[in-house]
Structure 1
């Protein structure tokens, strides 16, 4: 199964995507891009906000590569290999979060969980697109303004929560656990 994970599934692409995530986050720093908001005007979004999508795309790429005949006759079910690789990806992301910010690690976990759930219902391409759609939709519709005029996030916009928000972490962990439970019956 180790050869299968390396040559067919190509799980080696995920650590490369994580290194790219760290490099892009460190290079971008506090750079922002303007994003329209339904609350009015343009708001800025840090470039590092979008970097978790790179890792989600890499994971979906690896999960899309398969040899069905080989997987049917494998001694160890391939979904176990996939589940282990996804858990390792999240663990490595949290290690990288120490360098780039734990909000990036939390968002990566949330987006990966969403992608796994969408993959279960549709396919890998739609799963990666759903992750990007969540980020953009959250930026466009998830911001509000306080009476003092400062920008804040709505209660449902989890990717916009600060890194130390316990409710955002708990919801992310719950969604990730649900996604892991559902990964074994897709293939």
Structure 2
């Protein structure tokens, strides 16, 4: 099964995605990308907001690589291996967050959760896109100004919460637990 995880599923690509996340977040993380707003102006979003998508794409790439005949005859259920690898991916996020920011770690877990739910309902390509669309919606629609004119975020824009927000971490953790449970059955149409 170890060879299957490395040669077929290629779970090592998730580690490469984390290395890339840390490299991009460490060098360009404070850089700002222009993002249009619905009010007609341009807002800026830190590059670091978009780096968790790299990890989600890597996970979906690994989950997409299958050998159905080998998986159906395997002694160890491959889905357990996948569940363990996805759980390990989430566990590694705070370690990367120590280097690039805990908000990036939380967003990695949050986007991975959304990706797993989308993967369960649709396919890997959709799962990768859902996280990016969620981030764009957060940046475009999730910013508001309070009564004193200071920029803030709406209650639902979890990707914009600071890394120290316990509530945002709790929501991400609960969503990840639900997504992990839902994804245990695999993508739609492959249930046994």
TM-score by length of 1: 0.97
CA distance in 1, matches of 2:161, 2:184: 31
CA contact (8 A) 1:31 1:46 kept: yes
CA distance in 2, matches of 1:17, 1:23: 10
Match of 1:4? 4
Q: Tell me, in whole angstroms, the C-alpha distance in 2 between the residues paired with 1:109 and 1:40.
A: 31
Is the Cα contact below 8 Å between 1:39 and 1:143 reproduced in 2? no
1:36 Cα deviation after fit: 1.7
Cross-structure match for 2:47: 47
Unaligned runs of 5+ in 2: none
Rounded Cα–Cα distance in structure 2 between residues aligned with 1:31 and 1:64: 32
- What is the total number of aligned residue pairs between the two structures? 187
Q: Secondary structure in 1 aligned to 2:30?
A: coil
TM-score (norm 2): 0.94
Q: Summarize the alignment of residues 43-82 of structure 1 with structure 2, pairs less than 5 Å apart.
A: 43-82=43-82
Please give the per-residue CA displacement for 1:3-58, whole angstroms capped at 9, x wherever unaligned: 00000000111100100000000110421011122355222110111000001000
Partners of 2:50 and 2:135 within 8 A in 1: yes
**2:96 paired with 1:96:** yes
For 2:67 and 2:17, locate their aligned partners in 1 and report how far apart those are by CA, in whole Å.
23
- The separation in 1 between residues aligned to 2:29 and 2:133, in whole angstroms, is 23
Work out whether residues 37 and 143 of structure 1, in 8 Å CA contact, stay in contact via their aligned partners in 2: no
Q: Which residue number corresponds to residue 177 of structure 1?
A: 177
Contact 2:29 2:100 in 1 (8 A): no
Deviations 1:99-140 (A, max 9, x none): 111100000000000000000000000000101100001111
Determine the C-alpha separation between the residues in 2 that align with 1:79 and 1:130. Answer: 22
Q: Which residue of 1 aligns with 2:85?
A: 85
Which aligned pairs between 1:27-176 and structure 2 lie closer than 5 A? 27-38=27-38, 41-176=41-176
Structure 1 alignment gaps of length 5 or more: none
